Amino acid sequence: MAERTVHIAGMTCAACEQTVADAALAAGATTARARSRAGTVVLGGDALPSDRALAAALAGTPYTLGARRWLTSDRRVWRDVGLAGLFVVALAILISTTRVADALQSITQRAATGSIVFVMLLGVAASVSTCMALVGGLVISLSASAPAGARARPHLAFNAGRILGFAALGAVVGAAGRAFAPSGAALAVAMVAVAAVMGILGVRLTGLSPRIASWQVSLPASWGGWARSSGRRSHGLARPALLGAATFFLPCGFTQAVQVMALTSGSAWNGAALMAAFAIGTTPGLLAVGTASGAARGPRAAPALRAIGVLVLAFAAVTASGAARTLVPGLGTATVAATERTANVHDVAGMQVATVDVVTSGYSPATTVVYVGEPVRWIVDPTIVSCAGLVDASALGVGNFDAVNAKATVEFTLDTPGTYAYACRMGMYSGTITAIERPPTATASAADTG
């Protein structure tokens, strides 16, 4: 029996391998072994199909003959990415010039690490990309051997297990984060890693680089067999539910990014809310592939996937910029040649009371000026719920504190003139407090109250 190896572009997962192998068999091969990592399919048989026959069998799928390229030459991909990029820019301008951001933040009244909407969108993106690649084989296997009338039950149990399991494990991660979450430079390095992973995921989704699209972790084949045995036992839903919860530990870049968010939240509740929201976001896509195999990854979905990829790249850029502000304190904050205190500081009973609001853009005012050597009572007032309410003020000597759902008050004295940076623990927003000498003409206000 003769063998021939053919390069195939577009494969990223076990489900892709199966589709390509099936096409090769339909084209006339006796055996076919597709490998997504190598980007090849090995054909076996006495009369091997021609490239033309194999290409015809692959028509209507996302896979084509040929070696992977670093950059695609498909004009449709560049067109879709360009249009999506323009839309994201327009959306960013709209959000920055209207109250849309505040309206979205009002939805997240109990999520301290940013927008639940944002995390759910990451879940949606994951469910049609890396989560689909890693978990899709399990999902398909769940119903492969189940009776036709009972195929929905293991999928519902699987996704319910994911949501509940992610919430429970997210609570553990969030609680551990209060004691062990990184801060400062360590957090910035972690967020750079998250941004890099998200950047790769975004490029994969856009389809701009077929070579990068092949960078995918695959599940062991034994997992699929275990899932198939779960599908046969349609009356027993514990196994698919536990399998869904166990996917928390799979190396999906999106999942890991949200896990870092849960860790840095330093709260069991917030960690549970973030991970549950992410799992909820993945549910529609995973249910779709389970009930109608391939529905979430067909050619018609390509423009939507590319648009999601552009959005993920934007998220990665925002995350990287936040990490840069943490590595370079005060980056993006205007430098003030201060000669007097800022208007948000007042003398009250021998204390300098400085009030800073948590707003959509971070902190308002972003720069606060106080007098050196005099005690400061710093009040951080959350006008919205945002990760900016999780403050890392180590440079001020007060460590980390939370101002998420209620005002937080800390006290300190700056004995050395200079500018001291603080930031949210996710590294997304930053501000400064500058200490200057009290001018000889500036005395405590006569309106001091005791």
DSSP assignment letter at 356 = E
Residues 154 and 86 in one domain: yes
Residues 60 and 83 in one domain: no
CA-nearest of 162, 402, 427, 147 to 281 is 162
Residues 23 and 88 in one domain: no
Residues 194 and 123 in one domain: yes
Between 208 and 346, name the one with better pLDDT.
Answer: 346
450 in a structural domain? no
What Å distances lie between residue 223 and 144, 237, 268, 286, CA to CA? 14, 16, 30, 17
Residues 152 and 27 in one domain: no
205 in a structural domain? yes
Question: In the block, which residue shows the tokens 């096409």?
Answer: 23
Residues 363 and 397 in one domain: yes
- Mean pLDDT, the chain, rounded, equals 76
447 in a structural domain? no
Domain boundary residue, one of 21, 46, 65: 65
Q: Which residue blocks in 328-425 are alpha helix, DSSP H?
A: none
Domain boundary residue, one of 65, 95, 119: 65
Give yes or no for residue 203 having a pLDDT over 60.
Answer: yes
Cα–Cα dist 111/108, whole Å: 5
**Band (450; pLDDT cuts 50, 70, 90):** very low
**Band (385; pLDDT cuts 50, 70, 90):** low
Residues 399 and 311 in one domain: no
Residues 10 and 118 in one domain: no
Give yes or no for residue 233 having a pLDDT over 50.
Answer: no
Cα–Cα dist 139/360, whole Å: 39
Q: Domain containing 350: what range?
A: 345-436
Residues 268 and 402 in one domain: no
**Other Cβ atoms closer than 10 A to 214:** 18
Helices 253-265 and 152-180 meet at what angle, rounded to 10?
Answer: 40
Cα–Cα dist 13/17, whole Å: 6
Domain containing 24 — which CATH number? 3.30.70.100
| Proportion of the chain above pLDDT 90, given as a percent | 25
364 in a structural domain? yes
Number of structural domains in the chain: 3
Q: For 355, list phi and psi in degrees, rounded to 5.
A: -110, 125
246 in a structural domain? yes
| pLDDT at residue number 217 | 46
156 in a structural domain? yes
Residue 205 in tokens: 């989704």
Residues 61 and 88 in one domain: no
338 in a structural domain? no
Over the stretch 102-120, which tens digit does the pLDDT of each residue have? Answer: 554 444 443 334 467 778 8
Residues 275 and 382 in one domain: no
Over the stretch 404-432, which tens digit does the pLDDT of each residue have? Answer: 778 999 999 999 999 998 987 766 678 99
What is the rounded end-to-end Cα distance, in angstroms, of the chain?
Answer: 96
* Burial class of 405 by CB neighbour count within 10 A (0 to 12, 13 to 18, 19+): exposed
| pLDDT at residue number 447 | 43
| pLDDT at residue number 104 | 47
236 in a structural domain? yes
* DSSP of 105-133: HHTTTT-TTS-HHHHHHHHHHHHTTHHHH
pTM of the shown model: 0.51
Over the stretch 308-353, which tens digit does the pLDDT of each residue have? Answer: 778 778 777 766 776 676 666 555 555 556 788 999 999 999 999 9
**Other Cβ atoms closer than 10 A to 423:** 32
Domain containing 426 — which CATH number? 2.60.40.420
Lowest mean pLDDT among 96-110, 263-277, 376-390: 96-110
| Proportion of the chain above pLDDT 70, given as a percent | 68
Residues 83 and 18 in one domain: no
Domain boundary residue, one of 280, 298, 327: 327
